[in-house]
Structure 1
Amino acid sequence: MSVRLIVRTFSELCITVGTLIVLFVVYVLFWTGIKAGSATDGQIDKLQEEWSQGPVAAPAPEPTATPPAPDPAPEAYRDGKPFAVMYIPRFGGRWDWPVLEGTKVRTLQKGLGHYSSTAALGGGGNFSVAGHRRTYGDPFKDFPKLRPGDAVVLTDGTTWFTYRIDKKPYRTVPGDVGVIDPVPRKSGFDGPGRYLTLTTCDPEWGSSHRLIAWAHLDATQPVTDGKPEALRS
Structure 2
Amino acid sequence: MSRDRRAAPPGRNGVAAFLSLLGELLITVGLVLGLFVAYSLWWTNVLADRQADRRGDAVRQQWQATPAQPADPGALDTQGGIGFLHVPAMKNGEVLVKKGTTPGVLNDGVAGYYTEPVKSALPWDASGNFTLAAHRDGHGAKFHNIDKLRGGDAIVFETRDTWYVYKVFAELRQTSKYNVDVITSVPKESGRTAAGRYITLTTCTPVYTSKYRYVVWGELVRTEKVDAKRTPPAELR
Q: Give the TM-score band, short-chain normalised.
A: 0.7 to 0.9
Output the TM-score relative to the length of structure 2: 0.85
CA contact (8 A) 1:59 1:222 kept: no
- Give the Cα separation in 2 of the matches to 1:57 and 1:105: 32
Report what 1:177 is aligned to. Answer: 180
Q: CA deviation at 1:188?
A: 1.2
Whichever of the two has the greater Rg, that structure is 2
Cα shift at 1:144: 1.0
The verdict on how the C-alpha distance between 1:181 and 1:135 changes in structure 2, with shifts beyond 3 A counting, is: same
Change (3 A) 1:170 1:9: closer
- Pairwise CA distance, 1:223: 0.8
> What CA deviation, in whole Å up to 9, does each residue of 1:9-61 have, x standing for no partner?
2122112211211111110221111111101111211111111112466499x
CA positional deviation for 1:174: 0.5
TM-superposed CA distance for 1:168, in Å, is 3.7
Q: How far apart, CA to CA, are the structure 2 residues paired with 1:189 and 1:59?
A: 32
TM norm structure 1: 0.86
Q: Residue 232 of structure 2: which of 223, 227, 233 is its match?
A: 227
Q: Is contact 1:132-1:138 (8 Å) kept? A: yes
Gaps of 5+ in 1: 61-72
Q: Which residue does 2:15 correspond to in 1?
A: 3
Q: Residues 120 and 127 of structure 1 are in contact (CA less than 8 Å); yes or no, is this contact kept in structure 2?
A: yes
1:12 counterpart = 2:10:
no
Letter in 2 for 1:33: N
Identity %, equivalent residues: 33
Are the aligned partners of 2:59 and 2:80 in contact in 1 as well (CA < 8 Å)?
Answer: no
Question: Counterpart in 2 of 1:119?
Answer: 121
Q: Deviation of residue 3 (structure 1)?
A: 2.4
Unmatched tracts of structure 2, length 5 or more: 1-10
Number of the residue aligned with 1:104: 102
Q: Is the 8 A contact 1:143 1:169 kept in 2?
A: no
How many pairs were matched up? 218
Q: Distance in 2 between matches of 1:57 and 1:156?
A: 11
Corresponding residue of 2:163: 160
1:76, CA displacement in angstroms? 5.0
Matches of 1:6 and 1:140, distance apart in 2 = 47
Name which structure has the greater RCO, CA cutoff 8 Å, separation 6+. 1
Change (3 A) 1:59 1:134: farther
Task: Indicate the SS of the match to 1:82.
Answer: coil
Q: What is aligned with 2:63?
A: 51
Runs of 4+ more than 3 Å apart: 55-60, 73-76
**Which AA in structure 2 matches 1:77?**
D
User: Could you say if the C-alpha distance between residues 186 and 55 of structure 1 is closer, same or farther in structure 2, counting changes exceeding 3 Å?
Assistant: farther
> Which stretch shifts more, 166-175 or 155-164?
166-175
Are residues 182 and 56 of structure 1, via their aligned partners in 2, closer, same or farther at CA, if it must alter by over 3 Å? farther
Cα distance change, pair 25–170 in 1 and its aligned pair in 2 (3 A): closer
Cα distance, 1:112 vs structure 2: 0.5
Deviation at 1:224, TM superposition (A): 1.2
What is the RMSD of the two structures over their aligned residues, measured on CA atoms?
Answer: 2.1
Secondary structure at the counterpart of residue 167 of structure 1: strand
